[in-house]
Amino acid sequence: MGKKVTIRDIARLAGVSVTTVSQILNGKGARFSKETQKRVLKLRDQYGYVPDFNARSLILRKSSSMIGVLVPDISSPFFGTFVKGVQQVAQHEKMIPLIFSANRDPELEQSYLSQMISRSIDGLIIASVTMTTATIDRLIGSRDIPYILFDKNYAQRGTRVLTDDYRGGSLAAQYLVDLGHQRLVVLRPQQQSENFTQRMKGFYDTLEKNGIHLDQERDVVIEPLSRPGGYAATDAVLKSDATAVFAGNDDMAIGLLRGLAEHGVKVPQQLSVIGYDDIYMDEYVSPRLTTVRQPILDLGTGAAKLLLSKIHDEHAAEQVRRFPVELVVRDSTAAPRAEKMIKFD
């Protein structure tokens, strides 16, 4: 046979029904004769038959054993690690994760979510800045599909995982203040999700408690939440008289480190830089990046475990699982020194 062999081909060659072949191939053929079982298995091996997953699900009236995972940007080290955590749990539970990366496009997010729902998956893990529970429920409709939300929007209802972003921002601010920094610059995106807003609020509030006020025009640089965004912020940072920079995430911080290096600015001797997330790249840039650690892998495994509990128990109560954050001090921060950064006008 030149074309792909189907279960119907095996059934026809064996002289039995499709259901008989399906049950034998799935270890449920004990009620059939040994001769029939051997004939089916021999034909499977002879023609290299591989079961079609969707057809198998329909024949056996079983769920597809798939979970859908929607993230803003799979190329981000943060979401790459998050998905790795989901995959670890899925592999252990013999589930297949379908990963969709929407490139931070709200329309694409809804399109991908609709596609996942149409594939009769068992559950969803959704990380979205813009998608509300009302939108998700509308797309799911009458289908009974459990889902877990990732921490982008604190106002969401339903089961979700999140971290204490307010405390994370506060930890970063207090650490810089304790080092002796009084003049600081913040890098942040134009559009802020709720968790990012909380992160910034924790930072600003803690500075205020220590008698330090940031001017939103002078001390806040707005660029995309990415390495190119951090790199693009370099000129604005160089024009300031700051001794320390708090970048909204590690990607921005790493982009800024490159920009500063190209201008001959020594970190942390002339300028301290602190990020947020603790992505794996922090250990491999120079200087190694001080940051606020989110347990990214644990967030992924936690989301997957919560989803599985909802899949296995449709009456499971809604949960909000919070994960701790912590300061990780490396080489990119130090007390302000007499050696000033050259100020560019």
Strands 123-126, 66-71: parallel, antiparallel or unpaired by DSSP? parallel
Distance set, CA 192 to CA 197, 201, 295 (Å)? 6, 12, 21
> Tell me, which fold does domain 66-163+296-324 have in CATH?
Rossmann fold (3.40.50)
Instruction: Tell whether the model's pLDDT for residue 56 goes beyond 70.
Output: no
Question: CA 92, CA 197: separation in Å to the nearest integer?
Answer: 36
Phi and psi of 287, rounded to 5°?
-75, 160
286-309: average pLDDT:
95
pTM: 0.78
Instruction: Tell whether the model's pLDDT for residue 59 goes beyond 70.
Output: no
Burial of 53 (0-12, 13-18, 19+ CB in 10 A): exposed
**pLDDT classification of 280: cutoffs 50, 70, 90:** very high
Phi and psi of 240, rounded to 5°?
-85, 175
Name the residue among 263, 298, 270, 285 with its Cα closest to residue 330: 285
For residues 202 and 115, the model is more confident at 202
Q: What percent of the chain has pLDDT over 70?
A: 90
Q: How many CB atoms sit inside 10 A of residue 31's CB?
A: 10
Q: How is the chain split into domains, by residue range?
A: 7-60, 66-163+296-324, 165-294
User: Hey, is 328 helix, strand or coil?
Assistant: strand
Q: 165-294 has which CATH code?
A: 3.40.50.2300
Strands 326-328, 291-293: parallel, antiparallel or unpaired by DSSP? antiparallel
Question: CA 13, CA 7: separation in Å to the nearest integer?
Answer: 10
Question: CA 160, CA 320: separation in Å to the nearest integer?
Answer: 5
User: Hey, is 184 helix, strand or coil?
Assistant: strand
The class (CATH top level) of 7-60 is mainly alpha
First to last CA, the chain: 74
The H-or-E segment that residue 291 falls in is strand 291-293
Instruction: Tell whether the model's pLDDT for residue 62 goes beyond 70.
Output: no
- Same fold for the domain at 66-163+296-324 and the one at 165-294? yes
